[in-house]
Amino acid sequence: MSDHRLPDGRTAILLSADRAEGLRAEARAILDYLERHPQVTPERVAHMLFRTRIARRHRVLAMVSSRAELLDALRAVAGGTAHPALVSAAAAGRRIGFVFPGQGGQRPGPGKLYYAVSEVYRARVDECAAAFRTAFGHDRPLHYLLDDTGEYHDVVSEMQPAILFHMLGLAALWEAAGVRPAATVAHSLGELAAMVVAGAMPLRAAIVVAGHRSRLAEQLPGADGYTMAVLGIDREQCEELLARQPGWAELAVINAPNLVVVCGERDTVDALIAQVQGRKRFARGFTLRFPAHTSLITGLRTEFEAALNADLPGATFAPTDVACYGSTLGAAIEPDVAQAQYWYWNLRNRVRFDKAVAAAVRDGVDTLIEMSDHPVLQLAVQDNLSALGAPDTLVLGTSLRSAADLGEFSRNLASLAVHDANFAWDGLRVGPSEPMPLPLRDFPHTQWDRRRIWAPYAADTDTSPDPTAVRRVVEHWRPIPVPAQTSPHRVLFVDHTGDCADLASTLAAAAARRGDVATVFTAGQLADGTAPPRGQDRVVLLMPSPPNGETDSATTQLTEFFVQRRWLPALDALRGDGQCWLFTVAGEEVVVTDSVAGRGGDAIDPTAPHAALAAGFRCVAMERPGLLLRHLDLAGIEIHSETADLVVAALYTTGESELAVRRGTLFVKRLALETAVATAPGELDLSHVLIVGGTGRLGLRCCEHLVRSGARRVTLLSRSGETADTATALTQIRRLGAAEIVVARCDVTDPGAVATFAAGLGDQPVTLLLHTAVGYVDAPLAELTAAAVETAVAAKVVGAERIVAAVPRSPDCRVVLFSSVVATFGGAGQILYAATNRLLDVAARRWRERGVDCVSVQWGLWNAAGLLDENGWARIKATGLLPMFPADAIAAGLTPRGGDAMVLAADWPRLFQVFGAFGQASVLADLLPAHFPGAGAGAAGGPNRSGIANSTVTDAFSSSPTAIGASPGAWDTRTAGSDTAGTNPAPAGSRSGDRVRTGGGWSNLPGGLPGAPGPRSGDLMGTDGGWGSVPDGLLGVPGARSGDLAGTYGGPSSLPGASPGSRSGGPVGMSGGSVTGPDGLVGGRAPHPSPGHGGEMASAAGGAGSDVMGVGERVRVELEAVMGADGELTDGTVPLVALGLDSVQALEFRRRIQSVLDRDIQVADILGGASLDDVVLMVAGAGV
């Protein structure tokens, strides 16, 4: 009997249905059958399913090694929960493109694993080696590929052919599993592999080209004096910097709109790196060993073309059905091109990978699979897809550098299988097809999808969950088995403080017992400049126990670690695919339960210094994407030999970024949705609310929310007190309720000032205390100073401790400390921000131990750049975090019950994908539901999706009673086109301030508050161009937030008594035309002729209006720039296509709107007869 198995040997069990709900029914039926037939194996189940079922649209693939694992996976599907053995998606027809990278940060031995475990890979690579041996008389590239010590030289002439072998071997793995590309997309050297796979040139020809190409490049005079750098800027910015350099460098590669590579003299490139990093943008150098893709290559032309003409006389590319998109010309490669000429271009021309990806996507390629053992082009591909507006494109890798088997490849293959409606399942079949076993008796039939076909009397409410809604997420730790030992490692234990000699010695002895080569590198060696031994697989940084767990100790250790950085030279010891580990002591709160330790659940209290160090260390990982950083937390610095053995074994884990050892057990960190908080009894006491940092953006938003919620007294505490700007905002907020709002000036870092303020509260104890103060520092590791550490800790943490200790509080006062998800996720340039927020988290626990009802909430991304600076906000948003509406976020965070939590909205697959690129995605593995595309990637999930469209969401993200906003009447969800023209009121119990999603017209909210289409009364007003009336006569502007940003924090926006046309200060999303009062409205739109000048983004809360252009003016300026019509677009009613706008210009216009206004509009809409005024309306409705 043949089996359906994945390449790693696990059995593939496919469940499918026409609708997502049918998957649960299928799982329950098969689960019930297996429980009644204990002798049936997973192999027999797989055989029956593939024999008796067709693969329908909604799919779940279980990858199992045992019957018990299959039962657990089926229970997860039936219950709608996540399981690491599951991948799922809604399938569609896919046009697959294989992506072949060029030379990057390669290291010897990338094919060692695959050569050992895959016959297909081994056969293809051996074929390549034989062809190379015939052409050049040796096979040293094969030995480089396998890292056969002493059998190769680490030189370009052996490295590049080895890379070609590797890419062809990995492509063979995919093809052996039944995956055939419709196209290939290639980068530089990768074009050779792409041509072979596509059938455009024979293998021997590609081997010959690679051999001559690499040999001549290696011989280029002075090559050792050149270097390259990846810069996170666009082409225009790069050329601007290059024009000002005294030395030589050229733009060599354009990988994506915001990712380029320069090549040049070492000093010049180093200067460029420093300048780009000075702009707080990513920049990293690497050595390519020759000036590829620059004008210096012209000196090789004659010899290169002569060599190719001699070995490949008159060779041209063959016609093929598989399109080849090359970076040489940034387009599909035409047949009949002379190969000698083309491959010279390939080495000399600027790489246009961005254009190659764009051409493939425009031609319908919607699935991109990278042929490398670790994704190296993922960020570039994602940046291109974002610019192209192709969020549904499926992006997969082949494996991960840390993989110990074919498990990662199998998971990526499984992900493709559930996404691709035309996947060839026979590619998974192994073994003989005969003899055919008898069918399993009583095996369940396909579960029918029963539907009511008669239309209901009333329209159904759309209750589908919103995967991007605000969620409460909590941290937990779960035990894992001790990892199996693979080949021995070279491990360097670094005692950079000089206080961990005993720990280093104990761990080195444990490593030696496992067969590792262990070395201890001391503080003295670091101090005298001794170079660490190179070629290490693991570098472990050891931290001593802090003298105490208080904030002052944390400040000291943060300064020593991140400012003095005595440990940094030790990283030079790592080999290319090595890992750097930080070992902390009691820096994490890991609860050990009965089932793990055989005793009651308890935890070691986390210490502030090491908790903060770990948070900052995660940010270092984001600054160095080529380096895998890991963190392990010990219970204590004194460990016995058995614990040391476990700690060393942890160094063999695959993909896990956060680990801890407690009581002889290894734990990994995971995030999960919090349960049973929204329905917890009780309400917050709003008699007297104190908001520290109360006049900042976030403080004012909290104030507004609490005033709307019925607060009686709100005290806003800030260093500046009430200013002219904040006075305007507070005037509007006071109209929203009967609360007494008091503004007090106090520097919370000054003990005397805090004491004076606390004494002044007298007999008015605080019933709810919110600490929203921000001590933000945006600086990479190299720029941190002791003064910056002290300032950040004082503003964020010390002030909170002093306030909580000093102010009079009611017995049941709840204290909420405003932390950030950066403390958990990290971020480039966010070291101090992450560390200080983590200190707040630890402080909350410390206060709870003292009897204070104190929690720390790690907030996600707010809907305006208020907490971070613009660069920091943009970087975090790019990770997949989505901006939260303040009303949603605050309601989720200010709960009367529950402990510490994260409150965030996210594009979860993208978040998983982006953090996976830095090796930091493991904490998200349990959070993504089993039916969420790209989810369930286990401990080391690879890149799966670029977006969340067409996803199927399980109960983990459903509108269950535990979900945010699940209180009665919280949501009124309607379908587009429903009759909401003032005749259908929202359901009873709906709240003013909640989201009411309607499809057009007007919706009546409770209390007779009419709102614009799809608004929040008192929150988000209008996305379809309508106007919304809100309490107290505040007039909303289309796309604005009435009582929030538009007309509340800025100057008057047609408020009672204001003159028509006054400027609005918040982000308003203008609909074209000046902002006018009701008398100037025609059909909900402001009148022509002139574009509006509503302030797009107030520079600070309470500002009197931004001086930057309004949305309408910005749209016009960008359109004129694209069309070359300087000042000529005066009539906003003429269709843009009638003005000569073509498709290329429309794409560029869309990209500019995304870049400048952070809005997204569709090209089809632009080219479908839209006028300038129509586009302005689209932009106003597309805002966050």
Ordered alpha helix ranges (H), 64-118: 67-79, 112-117
Q: Are 1181 and 1069 in contact, with CB atoms under 8 Å apart?
A: yes
User: pLDDT tens, 574-587?
Assistant: 987 789 999 999 99
Strand-pairing partners, residue 262, are: 229, 251
911 pLDDT higher than 80:
yes
Rounded to 5 degrees, what are φ and ψ at 1060?
-60, 140
What band does 247 get if pLDDT is binned at 50, 70 and 90?
very high
Closest CA to 509 of 611, 659, 648, 322: 648
Please state the rounded mean pLDDT for residues 1037-1059: 30
Q: What is the pTM of this model?
A: 0.58
Strand-pairing partners, residue 1085, are: 1082
What band does 1 get if pLDDT is binned at 50, 70 and 90?
low
Regarding predicted confidence, which is higher, 1144 or 341?
A: 341
265 pLDDT higher than 70:
yes
Q: How many CA atoms lie within 13 A of 1150 on its CB side?
A: 22
Regarding predicted confidence, which is higher, 5 or 774?
A: 5
1066 pLDDT higher than 50:
no
Cis peptide before 435 (omega within 30 of 0): yes
As a whole-number percent, the residues of the chain with pLDDT over 90 amount to: 48
Please state the rounded mean pLDDT for residues 822-842: 91
The tokens for 1181 are: 């409705």
Question: Which residues contact residue 1087 at a Cβ distance below 8 angstroms, ignoring those fewer than 6 apart?
Answer: 1073, 1074, 1076, 1080, 1081
Closest CA to 97 of 417, 371, 376: 371
According to the 3-state scheme, what is the secondary structure of 155-191? CHHHHHHHHHHHHHHHHHHHHHCCCCCCEEEECCCHH
Q: Cα(806)–Cα(751) distance, rounded to whole angstroms? A: 9
Question: Environment class of residue 779 by beta-carbon count within 10 Å: exposed (0-12), middle (13-18) or buried (19+)?
Answer: middle
- With the C-alpha atoms ordered 674, 921, 377, 618, is the resulting torsion angle positive or negative? positive
150 pLDDT higher than 80:
yes
What band does 293 get if pLDDT is binned at 50, 70 and 90?
very high
Ordered alpha helix ranges (H), 88-234: 112-117, 119-136, 140-146, 156-176, 190-198, 203-218
**Distance set, CA 843 to CA 560, 615, 802, 835, 1027 (Å):** 21, 15, 12, 12, 45
Q: What 3-state class would DSSP assign to 316?
A: strand
Look at the chain and count its residues: 1184
Most confident of 258-272, 1034-1048, 1090-1104: 258-272
Domains in the chain (CATH in brackets) are: 97-220+292-365 (3.40.366.10), 221-289 (3.30.70.250), 477-673 (3.40.50.11460), 689-761+773-906 (3.40.50.720), 970-1086+1094-1108 (no CATH), 1112-1182 (1.10.1200)
Q: Cα(757)–Cα(102) distance, rounded to whole angstroms? A: 63
| C-alpha triplet 473, 474, 478: angle, nearest 5° | 130
607 pLDDT higher than 50:
yes
- Among 610-619, 694-703, 986-995, the least confident range: 986-995
Strand-strand pairing, 323-326 and 331-332: antiparallel
Question: Which residues contact residue 309 at a Cβ distance below 8 angstroms, ignoring those fewer than 6 apart?
Answer: 340
User: Helix 67-79 and helix 42-52: axis angle, to 10°?
Assistant: 50
Helix and strand numbers (H, E) in the chain are: 36, 38
Mean pLDDT computed over every residue of the chain: 78
pLDDT of residue 105: 59
Closest CA to 1073 of 1111, 1021, 1128: 1111
Q: What 3-state class would DSSP assign to 871?
A: helix
Question: Which residues contact residue 1123 at a Cβ distance below 8 angstroms, ignoring those fewer than 6 apart?
Answer: 1129, 1139, 1140, 1141, 1145
User: pLDDT tens, 565-576?
Assistant: 999 999 989 987
1053 pLDDT higher than 70:
no
Question: Environment class of residue 276 by beta-carbon count within 10 Å: exposed (0-12), middle (13-18) or buried (19+)?
Answer: buried
677 pLDDT higher than 90:
no
As a whole-number percent, the residues of the chain with pLDDT over 70 amount to: 77
Under DSSP, the state recorded for 447 is P
- With the C-alpha atoms ordered 713, 1100, 473, 671, is the resulting torsion angle positive or negative? negative
Most confident of 183-192, 216-225, 634-643, 1150-1159: 183-192
- Residue 973: CB atoms within 10 A of its CB come to 17
The tokens for 320 are: 């093929």
pLDDT of residue 2: 66
Please state the rounded mean pLDDT for residues 495-505: 95
Q: How many CA atoms lie within 13 A of 849 on its CB side?
A: 9
1130 pLDDT higher than 90:
no
Q: Cα(915)–Cα(826) distance, rounded to whole angstroms? A: 9
1085 pLDDT higher than 80:
no
pLDDT of residue 593: 62
The tokens for 875 are: 């970087």
Q: Cα(822)–Cα(776) distance, rounded to whole angstroms? A: 12
Q: Cα(129)–Cα(736) distance, rounded to whole angstroms? A: 76
pLDDT of residue 326: 95
Q: Cα(928)–Cα(948) distance, rounded to whole angstroms? A: 12
Q: Are 897 and 876 in contact, with CB atoms under 8 Å apart?
A: no
Please state the rounded mean pLDDT for residues 761-789: 87
1105 pLDDT higher than 50:
no
901 — alpha (psi -120 to 50), left (phi > 0) or beta?
A: beta
What band does 978 get if pLDDT is binned at 50, 70 and 90?
very low
pLDDT of residue 959: 30
Q: Are 1060 and 1054 in contact, with CB atoms under 8 Å apart?
A: yes
Ordered alpha helix ranges (H), 497-607: 501-513, 523-527, 551-558, 594-597
pLDDT of residue 1002: 27
**Distance set, CA 584 to CA 152, 261, 293, 537 (Å):** 40, 37, 45, 20
Q: Cα(675)–Cα(28) distance, rounded to whole angstroms? A: 24
- Rg value, the chain, Cα: 31
Core vs surface per residue 539-563: b (16+ CB within 10 A) or e:
bbbbbbbbeebbbebbbbbbbbbbe
User: pLDDT tens, 397-432?
Assistant: 999 888 899 999 999 999 999 999 999 999 998 877
Q: Cα(256)–Cα(246) distance, rounded to whole angstroms? A: 27
Q: Cα(167)–Cα(169) distance, rounded to whole angstroms? A: 5
User: pLDDT tens, 728-759?
Assistant: 889 889 988 889 999 999 998 899 999 999 99
